[in-house]
Chains A and B, each alone.
Chain A
Amino acid sequence: MWEILTAATRSKTGKGKTNVDRFLTLLRVLLIGLLVIGFLAFIAQQINPQNAFAQRVNPDATGLTAAQFKGLLVTGLSQGAMYGLIALGYSMVYGVLGFINFAHGEVFMLGAFSGFITSSKLFEAGAWEANFILSLLLVVLISIIVSTGAAVIMERVAYRPLRGSPRLIPLITSIGVSFFIQNAVILLFGPGAKGYPRLPEWLTEKRSILTFEIEGTKILVLIVAAVSMASLWWFVERTKTGKAMRAVAEDKEIASLMGINVNRTIVTTFAVGGAMAGVAGILWGILFRSVIATSGFLPGIKAFTAAVIGGIGNLGGAMAGGISLGTAESLLPLMILEPLGVNGVSQLRDAIAFLLLILVLLIKPTGLFGEKLSGDDRA
């Protein structure tokens, strides 16, 4: 245990511990200690609400019923699947160009926004209610086109001219692109929230699967996310273009020596990441049925967190990071924070998400599935 706690920052020069090392070790012990105490108190309280230890930590804790737990788990999983889909875009672009595209959250928002526009037009025309499945397919298709287009244009206009510059420069540019898109959307469509049209009842009603009572929308989200991730995996691992993408991610010069068109491969990477974000945008629309110009910000940051937790540059890691982040922020407030006596825990989802990020960075900075990357400092 101590090994894990101290290994990550052990000084490489062998000069012994600095005060920073000691502080970080303390932080690790403190965070893990809190998590363990909270979780133990939760378990104790679940077994016996009158348990002395649980009473001592937080006498007001109510615990979770099985139904509540299952509900939170499913909510977390569906939210996490969405984070995972967005995280893929961060991770793929990082893998190929070595910088974080902070405007990727806006690509997701544009997907959700175009979904709102298409679905409300279809609703006005009566098609949304007459033929829901076909309408939804059309909505998804258009949102994929919009998001893919946005990502590709972004690469061409904002990032390609900066190729070869230190990687801080495209990073800061991406923050600028993010502001630009948010404000362009406010200018075009106004700052207010836009509501998706009503979903048919057969989709929203709860269904019973393996003793879980799940809303149909969440089932849809989970299925769509799983299919998208599987097809992305197939694309990257099994197709010639996917192989070229992995080659470009590792060594652009040698990739071009193989005859691979590096620019086109980079565009493909942006396009595929954009398509995934477009799908995620529609899933957001189905889950929350509302979108505003700033909708991309928090999910974007969370997805970035998920990508880092999973190990940035690693696609399996992005998916796993997204799902674990979604589940953790749904379950942990009630499983760890409440037993510890924190107030208003249901509003602390975001805090849990970023706490998790800090924890991962403290203990395994390369992420759960990450590998050490080269010291190459160019974009």
Chain B
Amino acid sequence: MSEDTRTPLLEFRDINTHYGAVHILKDVNLAIYPGELVCLLGGNASGKSTTLKTLLGMVTPTTGDVVLDGEVVTNQPTSYRVERGITMVPENRRLFKRLSVKENLELGAYLRKDKDGMASDMERIFEMFPRVKERLNQKSGTLSGGEQQMVAMGRALMSRPRVLLMDEPSMGLAPALVQTNFELIQQIHADGVAIFMVEQNANMALSIADRGWVLQTGRVVLDDTADALLVHPELRASYLGDAGGH
């Protein structure tokens, strides 16, 4: 896939990011193509969250460009990027707990004006997650962890994204739910949405991804197909652990 001649949907061109004097991201280059499922792996403080924040415009890079479907959006605010088809399912879901499930979903479509499209998208989300429909008028804070994850994904899908960022989707979920969760991600991916996943659970992430990068102290140290990364000796040693099968 590295020989791709298509225009990337989302691109990092030589991104450098600083927090004050601290150099976080160092010459990072990333490209996500339409319909791909890619993952970014890395330990704590490797720069994963900063990567997501830079993609969304919550952090401005010192040098380099963020390119969304051929358009440089480095200096555009988050709302501009969301309108053009990029959104995120945040770590720990971060639903608006005092708002109802329905209101959470509606907020996902905050920038949209097409009422009919929104209604049909909501129906599709109900098909995907029938439980969400049952809980529609409940405050989202009263839902179980798995249900909240469904609402969080539904809320992101309501903006009709072309690329969906997922920040640590398996974090804070019961082990049984992690598997379900990855199945949901594949389901969304099968619908044609490109997915950029940031994960610590490298085994699980690589088992469903097309490609992956490994970030170490702000630098991309590995960039390969998921299959190649799964058997990569260095990665096996540091992230997958020797017993880590797939």
Residues of A within 8 A of B (CB): 240, 243-244, 246-247, 250-251, 253-261, 371
Contacts and interface: CB of A to CB of B under 8 A. Distances in A.
B99 A258 contact: no
A247 B111 contact: no
A111 to B, nearest CB: 30
B96 A257 contact: no
Given A253-B94, A257-B82, A259-B78, 16 more contacts: A243-B99, A243-B103, A250-B97, A250-B99, A253-B58, A257-B87, A257-B88, A257-B90, A258-B82, A258-B155, A258-B159, A259-B79, A259-B83, A260-B79, A260-B107, A260-B110
Nearest to A248: B96
B96 A250 contact: yes
B159 A259 contact: yes
Contacts of A371: 98
Contact of B98 (A250, A254, A255, A261): A250
Contacts of A243: 99, 103, 106-107
B99 A246 contact: yes
Interface string B90-132: 1000101111000100111011000000000000000000000
Contacts of A246: 96, 98-99, 103
Lowest 8 A-B CB distances belong to which pairs? A259-B111, A259-B79, A259-B82, A258-B110, A258-B107, A259-B110, A254-B94, A250-B96
28 contacts: A240-B110, A243-B106, A243-B107, A244-B107, A244-B110, A246-B99, A246-B103, A250-B96, A250-B98, A250-B99, A251-B96, A253-B94, A254-B90, A255-B107, A256-B78, A257-B56, A258-B107, A258-B108, A258-B155, A258-B159, A259-B78, A259-B79, A259-B82, A259-B83, A260-B107, A260-B110, A261-B79, A371-B98
Nearest to A313: B98
Interface of B is mostly: mixed
Interface of A is mostly: helix
Nearest to B111: A259
Given A244-B107, A247-B107, A251-B94, A257 B78 contact: yes
Nearest to B80: A259
Contacts of B78: 256-257, 259
A164 B160 CA distance: 32
A251 B107 CA distance: 12
A243 B79 CA distance: 17
Interface residues of B, number: 22
A354 B87 CA distance: 48
Contacts of B103: 243, 246
A246 B95 CA distance: 12
A258 B152 CA distance: 12
Nearest to A246: B99
Contacts of B97: 250
A240 B103 CA distance: 10
Nearest to A250: B96
A261 B78 CA distance: 9
A258 B108 CA distance: 6
Contacts of B88: 257
A253 to B, nearest CB: 7
A256 B79 contact: yes
A260 B82 CA distance: 10
Most buried by B among A253, A259, A260: A259
Nearest to A244: B110
Interface string B26-50: 0000000000000000000000000
A173 B159 CA distance: 39
B53 to A, nearest CB: 9
A99 B90 CA distance: 27
A260 B103 CA distance: 14
Contacts of A256: 58, 78-79
Nearest to A251: B94
A233 B79 CA distance: 27
Most buried by A among B82, B83, B88: B82
Contacts of B56: 257
Contacts of B90: 254, 257
A16 B151 CA distance: 42
Nearest to B98: A250
A5 to B, nearest CB: 30
A253 B79 CA distance: 12
Contacts of B98: 246, 250, 371
Contacts of A244: 107, 110
Nearest to B90: A254
A244 B110 CA distance: 8
Contacts of B94: 251, 253-254
Contacts of A258: 82, 107-108, 110-111, 155, 159
Nearest to B99: A246
Interface in B144-160: 155, 159
A42 to B, nearest CB: 40
